[in-house]
Structure formats: C-alpha cells, structure tokens
Amino acid sequence: MDDELRAAIGMSAGAFVLGAGGAVLGARMNGWTGGLIGAHLGLIIGMALGGGLVGTLPRGWSKQDRAEAHEMLGFALAALPGGALGYWVGGLGIRRLSPEVGLYAGVVVVGVTVGFIVLFCTESENLVSGVIGAGIAGGGLGAALARAIDPHPVLLVAGLLVGTVIGASIGHSMNVAIQQAAYQRYPSR
C-alpha cells in the first residue's frame, strides 16, 4: 500500500469517526442544529487528526510531508480541547457570545495557534493549519448567516458547506501568497 493511499484511509477514518461522534454529541446537546455543527467540526478535525497520525508513522515520506502531517496533528489535538473550552465560555452568559460562537472560536484560535507553533518547530513550508482554520471559520460564519436568514436544516447545511469552501479557498490563497513572498525574499530556501 502506498503512502498516499494510507493518508487517504487515515483521513477518511478520522473524518468518519469524529464526524459521527460530533454529530451524536452535538445532537444530544443542541438538537439537529448541534448535530449538524458537530458533524461539520468532527469531519474537518477528524481529517486533520487521521492524516496527521498516518503522517507521523515511519514511512518513506519527505521531510516536508512529515512536517505538514505533524502540523495537522497538532492542530487537531489542540482544536478538540479548544472547542470544549470555547463552548464552555460561550455558555457562561457573556453577551453576544453563544456556545456555538465560543465553540468555533475555541477550535480556530487554539488549533491554529498550536498548528503555527508546530509549523515553526518543524520548518514546514505550508500553513496547513491556517487553511484548515480558515475553512472552519468560514463554515461557522456561513452557519451563523444561514441561521440568521432562516433556521432550516437545509439552509444550515448550505451555509456550512459554502462557508467552508470560501474560507478554505481564502486560506489557501493566503498560503500561496505567503509562500511566493517568502521565495522572493529568500530565493535560496
């Protein structure tokens, strides 16, 4: 089995397990809305966790690929408790901070921060955690906008999907721009 297939299997397994777990946990806490949000976050964090775990195993991967896998793993492992902390803070009754907003903020802020720390430690060239975090933040904004328009499940799913795609696209574009600027500034690297 080649390394790309292993990575795909790891990402799929992580997405399935955490997506299902997030859906069940979210549904128990906040009905269908919580289930959809839990599934969304579980899928993305699960993909990062599965891909990161597979990438840390001793294989014939390049140094760059292993650094990206470590960054994904750091993001995922930090995003889980970050989301729980954010959800708890959001439930304290702070004005304009709902538990869902706290959940997304905790996942993005804590996950991206730890992902960037791992990025600098492993000297990765790609801001993988930034792209993942931008996708999650976009999904959260899309869900909030969809719920403000009409609290219908189909509209919420559309908001999550469209927001995630737009957020990840923006994150990827910023990643490419940062890489190009770095290569122009330091052409020998």
pLDDT in tens, 20-48: 999 999 999 988 989 999 999 999 999 99
Q: Which DSSP state fits 59?
A: S
pLDDT for 58? 65
pLDDT for 178? 84
Which residues span the domain enclosing 104? 3-185
pLDDT at 106 over 60: yes
pLDDT at 75 over 90: yes
Q: State how far the Cα of 157 lies from the Cα of 164, in Å rounded to an integer.
A: 11
Mean pLDDT value across residues 80-98? 90
Domain count across the chain: 1
What is the band of 189 on the pLDDT scale with cuts at 50, 70, 90?
A: low
Q: State how far the Cα of 24 lies from the Cα of 13, in Å rounded to an integer.
A: 17
Q: State how far the Cα of 138 lies from the Cα of 32, in Å rounded to an integer.
A: 20
What is the band of 182 on the pLDDT scale with cuts at 50, 70, 90?
A: confident
Alpha helices in the chain (DSSP H): 3-56, 63-90, 99-122, 128-149, 153-185
Show Cβ contacts of residue 77 under 8 Å, excluding neighbours closer than 6 positions. 49, 114
Q: State how far the Cα of 14 lies from the Cα of 51, in Å rounded to an integer.
A: 8
Show Cβ contacts of residue 69 under 8 Å, excluding neighbours closer than 6 positions. 7, 51, 52, 54, 55, 56, 61
pLDDT for 63? 83
- Residue bearing tokens 């960037």: 116
